[in-house]
């Protein structure tokens, strides 16, 4: 992801400055993670289990349904320095594309074993990790189905609070999603994450770095 941010910065510089001399003397422009709508399904009620493993709920013997994945990443500032002790809210639909929220009218089934919401703190290097399942797509209106995505809200004193969404690279529904396609490049690419499994791992992993803007 750091390479992606560096490439995005270079593209912005090329597009905004006309000559090589001006590029050499201009400051580097920071690319922060694009904002995305919070949506209507932010968790409305406190729940006892909001740990980093959303595939299991305390007191339940069965795991959540669906493909287990792990999302890791770092929260960074505009200079690429880690942001420690940032609060990271993560929430999403279950494998069927339904949120455990009273306002979700999707007739898809609920999963009583899916946690659906995690609250994390970044470590000294700005790192976070969450274990979850790949969410399902769901219909919004006629002709618009939202692709699988995961919501993130990040808060830290001294930075603007950021709400955004992470998408799965290569999903065909990305091309017609109105929210994702409303983000101009290079920011759109920052929201797309590739998932793959290492040879010794059965769980697919993806890296999603998040860049905050200072107050």
Q: What is the pLDDT of residue 122?
A: 98
Catalytic residue among 138, 157, 188, 213: 138
Query: Residue 191: is its pLDDT beyond 70?
Result: yes
Q: How far apart are CA 208 and CA 194, in angstroms?
A: 9
The residues near 71 (Cβ < 8 Å, ≥ 6 apart) are 90, 129, 130, 132, 150, 166, 193, 205, 206, 207, 208
**What is the pTM for the complete model shown?**
0.85
Structural tokens at position 62: 């069965």
What is the Cα–Cα distance from 92 to 109, expressed in whole angstroms? 14
DSSP state of 6: H
Q: Domain spanning 33-211: which superfamily?
A: Aromatic compound dioxygenase (2.60.130.10)
Is the confidence at residue 21, as pLDDT, over 80? no
Instruction: Decide if pLDDT at 1 tops 70.
Output: no
Higher pLDDT, 204 or 11: 204
Active-site pick, 99, 101, 156, 167: 99
Both structure tokens of 50: 């909001």
Answer yes or no: 149 catalytic. Answer: yes
Set 74, 96, 131, 149: catalytic member: 149
- Average pLDDT value for the chain: 88
Q: Is 146 a catalytic residue?
A: yes
pLDDT higher at 187 or 5 = 187
Assess whether pLDDT exceeds 60 at residue 9. no
Catalytic site includes residue 99: yes
- Split at pLDDT 50, 70, 90, the class of 7 is very low
Active site residue 157: no
Task: Please write the tens of the pLDDT for every residue from 146-177.
Answer: 999 999 999 999 999 999 999 999 999 999 99
Is 101 noted as a catalytic residue in this protein? no
Pair 116, 122: CB distance under 8 Å: no
Cβ atoms < 10 Å from Cβ of 137: 17
Euclidean distance between CA atoms 68 and 133, whole angstroms: 4
Tell me what percent of the residues of the chain surpass a pLDDT of 70.
86
């Amino acid at each position: 992801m750091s390479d992606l941010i560096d490439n995005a910065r270079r593209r912005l510089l090329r597009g905004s400055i006309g000559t090589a001399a001006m590029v050499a003397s201009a400051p580097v422009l920071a690319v922060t993670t694009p904002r995305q709508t919070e949506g209507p399904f932010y968790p409305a009620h406190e729940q006892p289990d909001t740990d980093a493993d959303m595939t299991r709920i305390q007191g339940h013997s069965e795991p959540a349904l669906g493909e287990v994945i792990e999302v890791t990443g770092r929260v960074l500032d505009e200079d690429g320095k880690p942001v420690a002790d940032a609060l990271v809210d993560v929430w999403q639909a279950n494998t069927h594309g339904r949120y455990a929220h009273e306002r979700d009218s999707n007739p898809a089934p609920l999963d009583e074993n899916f946690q659906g919401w995690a609250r994390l703190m970044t470590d000294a290097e700005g790192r976070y990790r969450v274990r979850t399942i790949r969410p399902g797509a769901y219909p919004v209106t006629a002709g618009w189905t939202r692709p699988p995505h995961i919501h993130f809200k990040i808060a830290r004193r001294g930075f603007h609070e950021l709400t955004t969404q992470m998408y799965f690279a290569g999903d065909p529904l990305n091309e017609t999603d109105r929210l994702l396609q409303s983000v101009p490049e290079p920011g759109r690419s920052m929201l797309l994450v590739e998932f793959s499994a290492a040879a010794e791992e059965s769980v697919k992993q993806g890296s999603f770095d998040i860049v905050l803007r200072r107050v």
